Structure 1
Amino acid sequence: MLEKKEAQYEKVVLVGLITREQPEEKLEEYMDELEFLAYTAGAEVVMRFTQRMEKPDSKFFVGSGKLLEIKEFIDEHEIDTVIFDDELTPSQLKNIEKVVEKKIIDRTQLILDIFAQRAQTSYARTQVELAQYQYLLPRLTRMWTHLERQRGGIGMRGPGETEIETDRRIIRDRITLLKEKLKSIDKQMATQRKNRGALIRVALVGYTNVGKSTLMNVLSKSDVFAEDKLFATLDTTVRKVVIGNLPFLLTDTVGFIRKLPTQLVESFKSTLDEVREADLLVHVVDISHESFKDHIDSVNQILDEIESKDKPTVLVFNKIDNFSYVKKDEDDLTEVRHENISLEEWKRTWMAKSEHPTLFISATEKENMEDLRKTIYEEVKKLHVTRFPYNDFLFEYFEEETED
């Protein structure tokens, strides 16, 4: 009888640079995120390496001395993979791998790998495969020699081992074929969106892992997959929701992230079309994350890029049950305490002074969900009345009936 083997995590180290454009504090945030990405992909981070430089070294990304230090560490601790926080050029990948003699991947390849793991539908898999081939094409020579020595593991999922026998022409043909396939599916999805009728469309947007899918489940009483990992949801989910007497369509979209690979932005055009064509955005923010302000800026930047920043928006600060802050008494010798903030206190913070309707909730604990429902109802009603002014009296009638 065969013994059941426990799942093995790849042992990895992370590498990042402190530069003029990326100060130490910012790098620390990016490295925390990179570690979470690595964990999501199935890795155990053993060590972080950072170096202060004016700009990345054109040959090794880090200095040659730092690279030898990294090599010594990974040889001593039997590390499987080295993950760099920024996208490496094909020549940097080739040069680093010659020195280190281990699997080298960068942030872009790591994100693509997670997407390859998470894609469930044929459409999402096609999008990911296209992004992977676009990433692979300029790195083809290096990837061949790499795959001959290393197979499987993080960064190796997706197009498959036949890459070794292919050439650039076949890869380009495959990219063309995938683009045509996506165009065909895009048309089908555009038709589906038109066929949804005149219902107002509401899209949940936000940074990855802020609780959009959990919120979707609470509002729509559905069972959308949700997990405490990055990019738990890739496939767009649409549900019909009724609040009070008012039906609308609620869409859960893929989470955004800083340094989002350009290949993914292009490949996931149709997923982003759900955001472009939404009438109302519900921007979900993880208030318990120390970098939530940066997350808001990152999401707004991507919304601006896809011309959706000026849409009517409800700003929702989620996970208030996980939030804590450091408070000291007047006596400096007193032990530091962490205290939660009440809902009334939240409403008096600077976050509540946004130009958009703003709420503070906990989707998992269902805290303040009734206020959220009322706010979404009011915002959807405004849009509905604008689109169908002759229905205005129906809202008044139904609301009076409900009150009676």
Structure 2
Amino acid sequence: MQEPGMSMMRAILVKRNEPRSEDEKNELQMNELRELAGAAGYEIIGELTQTRHPDRKYHLGRGKVEELAQIVADLRPDKVIFHNPLTTMQIYNISETCRCETIDKFQLILEIFATRATTHRSKLQVELARLEYELPRARAVISLLKKDERPGFMGLGGYEDSYAQDVKNRMIRIRKELETIQKDNETLRAHRHSRGFSLVALAGYTNAGKSTLFNALVDEAVESKDMLFTTLLPTTRSLNVQGRDVLLTDTVGFIEDLPHWMVDAFRSTLDEIFLADVVLLVVDSSEPLELIRKKLLVCHETMWDQLQDVGIVTVFNKMDMISEEELQERMLSLGYLAPDPVAVSARTGMGFDELKASIHDLLPEWKRITLSFPMSEEAMSLVAWIFEEGVVHSVNYEDGISIDLEARDKIINKAISLVKTLS
């Protein structure tokens, strides 16, 4: 984002529509590009669209590129941003014709990720995604640089023939470092499970309100803005769900057509979802029905194969922004894409009790047992320990101590063993 006192970068947005594509879908995609540009700190000063099959040289038709060049000359933007993925040759040809730096949607997403990456892990992930994007284009870039002797093309600096191998070596080093970080995270995750914490992850399309819901549930201030990709690094906090402590994690949002190289780069972040006991799939219920359907499909495509044995609660957020009739229509129409639906408002707290009940129903099952033992100082210490480690449904102090508790196997077995020493 822009530093205080700095003027915003200016951009022209461009999109090529497929012939026979639906107008509604095209507008949704264009609106998403507007939101991405805004999230990256660009002021949008112009837009251009064309419906045709892609041109190999310019992606758009030659005449439309010349029209774009005239718009650039008149408005003088800092960048031209395409919704469509562009080849290196197309970026070069458009940049040459328009005399303006040109990028596509995925380079724009990388820009956003780079500005939001604040930790060593997230910076490594962003760099890996950038290198994954660059690698297949490296030879084409080198060829163009040699032809025109333009060392500053695309801001990538001077290339040598060894560049592609250098990229591969750097990717190997980053992956090894991320694997080490991931092993540490898995050790921490195993430790949390051994301590009785179940893991709950928030997932969903970017800007669905996950961070706002996270903040409201755990009563903390994690950044949440009406902007795409405010969350890159997973944030985890403790949450009490009907007497059981769970760890709730906010994660990076999904987006349409997220390429495999970007998913691969953020695999360790997505693992926070894939390794959870329960996933809260958050949708913005105030959006049009077809838009919600499209976004749910994107979420399922991104994570469904990994979540066959994981409990999913579909959270219809922002219920306070639509009527009860509209809400019921959306939940009914999307039933096949929305397992265990619950309506909430992260802003007002409506529906939180129902949400926590749904989470509780899907948590790994604990055992329930009643223990009886004589009154003593050691017995009172045991009662205090049981209150810390499990859920106590009742305790009776007549004729000794009788306690009805629910806990994981490890705690139940230890409690039984300790009771034997008191009898």
User: What TM-score, normalized by structure 1, do the two folds share?
Assistant: 0.82
Shift of 1:204: 0.6
Aligned to 2:13: 14
Structure 1 50/250 Cα, relative in aligned 2: closer, same or farther at 3 Å?
Answer: same
What amino acid maps onto 1:100 in structure 2?
Answer: C
**Contact residue 19 and residue 51 of structure 2 kept, 8 A:** no
Aligned to 1:25: 24
Aligned to 1:377: 360
Shift of 1:262: 2.1
Structure 1 283/5 Cα, relative in aligned 2: closer, same or farther at 3 Å?
Answer: closer
**1:188 is the counterpart of 2:188:** no
Structure 1 179/136 Cα, relative in aligned 2: closer, same or farther at 3 Å?
Answer: same
Aligned to 1:337: none
* Overall identity of the aligned pairs, in %: 33
Shift of 1:357: 2.3
SS at structure 1 position matched to 2:345? coil
Shift of 1:5: 6.9
Aligned to 1:93: 91
Structure 1 211/392 Cα, relative in aligned 2: closer, same or farther at 3 Å?
Answer: farther
Shift of 1:349: 2.5
Bigger Rg over Cα:
2
**1:351 is the counterpart of 2:331:** yes
Which one of the candidate residues 276, 279, 294 is aligned to 1:278? 276
For residues 101 and 39 of structure 2, what CA distance do their matches in structure 1 show?
18
**1:115 is the counterpart of 2:113:** yes
SS at structure 2 position matched to 1:302? helix
Shift of 1:103: 0.5
SS at structure 2 position matched to 1:242? strand
What amino acid maps onto 2:170 in structure 1?
Answer: R
For residues 124 and 267 of structure 1, what CA distance do their matches in structure 2 show?
10
Which runs of 5 or more structure 2 residues have no equivalent in the other structure? 372-389, 397-402, 405-423
**Contact residue 318 and residue 361 of structure 1 kept, 8 A:** yes
For residues 399 and 319 of structure 1, what CA distance do their matches in structure 2 show?
40
Correspondence 1:3-402 to 2 at 5 A: 6-20=5-19, 22-53=21-52, 55-140=53-138, 141=141, 148=152, 167-197=163-193, 198-290=196-288, 291-305=291-305, 307-308=306-307, 311-323=310-322, 341-342=323-324, 345=325, 348-352=328-332, 354=335, 356-380=339-363, 383=364, 385=365, 388-390=366-368, 397=393
SS at structure 1 position matched to 2:310? coil
- Report runs of 4+ in structure 1 exceeding 4 Å deviation: 142-147, 161-166, 390-396, 398-402
Aligned to 1:333: none
Shift of 1:304: 2.0
For residues 68 and 347 of structure 1, what CA distance do their matches in structure 2 show?
47
Shift of 1:364: 1.6
For residues 362 and 392 of structure 1, what CA distance do their matches in structure 2 show?
38
- Cα deviation, 1:152-200, whole Å, max 9, x if unaligned, reads xxxxxxxxx7666883332222122112111211211121111112422
Structure 1 18/162 Cα, relative in aligned 2: closer, same or farther at 3 Å?
Answer: closer
Shift of 1:221: 1.8
Structure 1 260/309 Cα, relative in aligned 2: closer, same or farther at 3 Å?
Answer: farther
Size of the aligned set, in residue pairs, is 364
For residues 27 and 283 of structure 1, what CA distance do their matches in structure 2 show?
25
For residues 170 and 308 of structure 1, what CA distance do their matches in structure 2 show?
36
What amino acid maps onto 2:295 in structure 1?
Answer: H
Shift of 1:146: 7.3
For residues 146 and 377 of structure 1, what CA distance do their matches in structure 2 show?
61
User: What TM-score, normalized by structure 2, do the two folds share?
Assistant: 0.79
Shift of 1:375: 2.6
Report the more deviating stretch, 26-35 or 179-188: 179-188
Alignment root-mean-square deviation, CA:
2.8
SS at structure 2 position matched to 1:177? helix
- Cα deviation, 1:82-112, whole Å, max 9, x if unaligned, reads 1111211111112211211111000110011
Shift of 1:147: 7.1
**Contact residue 212 and residue 284 of structure 1 kept, 8 A:** yes
Shift of 1:369: 2.3
Structure 1 350/391 Cα, relative in aligned 2: closer, same or farther at 3 Å?
Answer: farther
**Contact residue 82 and residue 104 of structure 2 kept, 8 A:** yes
